[in-house]
Structure 1
Amino acid sequence: MARLKKSPALTFIIVLIVLLIVGQVVYANTKEPGSSEDPLVTLSYVEQRIEQVRFYIDEKLSSSQPGQPSGDSTKGGSLELVYLSTGERLIADAGTEIILRAGNAVAIDSHRGGLSDVTAATDIRMNQQIPPNHLIIVPREDGRGVRALTNDVILLVRGKYTIEK
């Protein structure tokens, strides 16, 4: 049998390969499974993230539930239909937009001014008639709003408001 001669270079290469393999195994075992350094995503990590997102969504939905005394139609920028009976008052926050669609209503102003009729470029003062289909903006949060004169007042509202009897 022929004896193989071992060269020092071949031995060095084999030892280097073995050390690299052992080093990779040790390195891989030190990483926490499911951590940001782990390239594989585990089921528990995904379930944890889903639970965090579910909690966030539930928290946001519960903070904007209907049934509170004040309305807020700022969600999504949509206009909300609001019905008023005779004598009811809609008191709006600053920046609230109001459009009278049906019925008769008058303005409620404050000592600082009235409601801004953007369509007619005028200021509507206390007890002045709200014109139908005009965009009305409440400039300040100081008690301004609209009072219904009839039972069939229908408003489109975007913004925060309260309804008082």
Structure 2
Amino acid sequence: MKKSIIISIVTILVLVFGISMAMAATDQPGSESDPVVTKSYVDSRTSYSPISLTAGQKLIGGEGTEIILRSGEATAIDNGANGVSDLTAGTDLTTGSQVAVNHLLLVPRNDDRGITATTDIWVMIRGTYTIQ
């Protein structure tokens, strides 16, 4: 009786191990389940770019755009219903709200949200944007 239980347990363990090894073998580098990406693609997703704006210019972010004000003064631009997310402070910045230096801002959707430079500014940005 004990011998048959041990044999059953060993058989189940071997099957589970075999199935997991077979599944791991299907994830070949470059396959659809494990694609190869280029360095430029990774850099575009992980690097911030510095840009400067002059007083009065508007920076409108696309969906998921991240903005960090590094110098100067700027105010937020909302979409009429919701503001720009200040992830550092945990607040929603509506139009006219002062943007704090070195705070991480997130534009949640592509609906004309961003910042207005009230003085000449430098920002670090990651994502799509337009300058008006």
Matching of residue 159 in structure 1 with residue 132 in structure 2: no
Higher helix share: 1
Q: Which residue of 2 aligns with 1:117?
A: 86
Contact 2:66–2:104 (8 Å) recurs in 1: yes
Structure 1 residue 144 corresponds to structure 2 residue 93: no
1:78 is aligned to 47
- Which residue of structure 2 aligns with residue 97 of structure 1? 66
What fraction of aligned residue pairs are identical, expressed as a percent? 46
Indicate the RMSD between aligned Cα atoms, in angstroms. 1.4
TM-score by length of 1: 0.53
Runs of 4+ in structure 1 over 4 Å off: none
Rg larger for: 1
Q: Whole-Å Cα distance in 1 between the matches of residues 51 and 99 of structure 2? A: 15
* Deviation of 1:76 (Å): 4.4
Given residue 161 of structure 1, which amino acid in structure 2 is its aligned partner? Y
Structure 2: tracts of 5 or more residues without a match: 1-39
Q: Answer yes or no: is 1:88 the counterpart of 2:73.
A: no
TM-score by length of 2: 0.66
Structure having greater relative contact order (Cα 8 Å, sep ≥ 6): 2
Task: Give yes or no for contact 2:45–2:126 (8 Å, CA) kept in 1.
Answer: no
Aligned to 2:100: 131
